Structure 1
């Protein structure tokens, strides 16, 4: 790690390459994890209701099964599965059936590479940089899943929260107390908004996964990061949400996932929260 810190011309390309590879795996998580969850829910529901067994083979796993074209089932060879470059070489089409390949694949791979490079630029090539990259990868996966399915799986939000609390035991980014208070405040704050909204309207304004995601962000950003994350995510969500509804021609009752905006805001606050707060205090004369 010290060698990479003193030779960033080698470290940054190495991290970018790793980011592309991890981004390819995150695409698999984004696409396959919700399908696995739905299959397990249906299986558990049949068991609870004592319904007869049905032939319902599980969808592809996240790690073992090879990548394939969702249109024709063509299994990808190694040279068709090179992150970013294969999509460009194939011009965004399956080599077998010529069906279009979603632009999500190269975007997630490129985004992951850029953000993990930003993490090591901000924190260095040591444990802080590694932890920041791990935090970033979880947020990308969660934002992608929520954007596509309006789900924030416990299998991602809860480990992310615990990893933040574990990092705080060694003061990696902050002491344990601010991290624990941040996790508590993150959950309680959004839960309170959800509860009040339900009492007034009789409807649920957000999913429970949003509470857990903000709790996880609080474990990494601390108590002082909760309010900036909520404010920033609300502003970004309002602006982007209105644009989305206008473009799609939908009314304001259309549900919009909040997780991606929490992830964007949480990442910004994690990376530059202290700088943003410092500038705010200087402008406010505090």
Structure 2
């Protein structure tokens, strides 16, 4: 279910530069149900993940005066309800890295121009997928380097 939501959100954002609230609401509800009833996740962890994910992108949107869309902010908040705090923060980091590399490739291959809008939702989705599959291993590996 997680992957289906990520695909739908990514395709719509790439094609129309929109992340629809009606999809995000169901995505968030599914995350809460999955984590509280099936996965037995600590509710405080997913709430902090939601707040952190949404708040960080909201601050970026304020500082860049619209450089980040409201759909991206709500998408990260909904992802927090699926991933919890640690994996949400990892998803944010990975989305910026993947987004930077992806944007450079789109510009270098002349698929997009410098003034073209490049949707961030697909980069968030790829990062969330990686975090869901390998997030704990990535965090453990990173902490072992310190």
- Give ranges in structure 1 of 5+ residues lacking alignment: 1-133, 199-203
C-alpha root-mean-square deviation of aligned residues, in Å? Answer: 1.5
- Give the CA deviation at 1:257: 0.2
Alignment partner, residue 55 of structure 2: 188
Matches within 5 A, 1:220-259: 220-248=82-110, 250-259=112-121
- Shift in Å, 1:206: 1.9
Residues 184-236 of structure 1, C-alpha deviations (whole Å, 9 max, x = no match): 111111011101111xxxxx112110011111111111011122111111111
Structure having greater relative contact order (Cα 8 Å, sep ≥ 6): 2
SS at match of 1:205: coil
Candidates 22, 35, 41, aligned match of 1:168? 35
CA distance in 2, matches of 1:135, 1:266: 9
Residue 157 in 1 paired to residue 24 in 2? Answer: yes
Indicate if the aligned counterparts of 1:186 and 1:214 stay in contact, CA closer than 8 A.
yes
Given the two structures, how large is their TM-score scaled by the length of structure 2? 0.92
Change (3 A) 1:277 1:139: same
TM-score (normalizing by structure 1): 0.49
Structure 1 CA distance for aligned equivalents of residues 4 and 38 of structure 2: 21
1:262 paired with 2:130, answer no
- Whose radius of gyration is greater, 1 or 2? 1
SS of equivalent to 1:248: coil
The answer as to whether partners of 1:182 and 1:215 remain within 8 angstroms in 2 is: yes
- SS of the residue 1:174 aligns to: coil
Tell me if structure 1 keeps the 8 A contact 2:52–2:89.
Answer: no
In 2, Cα distance between equivalents of 1:194 and 1:183: 17
List structure 1 runs of 4+ shifted beyond 4 angstroms.
Answer: none
Contact 2:49 2:86 in 1 (8 A): yes
Q: Distance in 2 between matches of 1:282 and 1:173?
A: 27
Q: Is structure 2 residue 128 aligned with structure 1 residue 281?
A: no
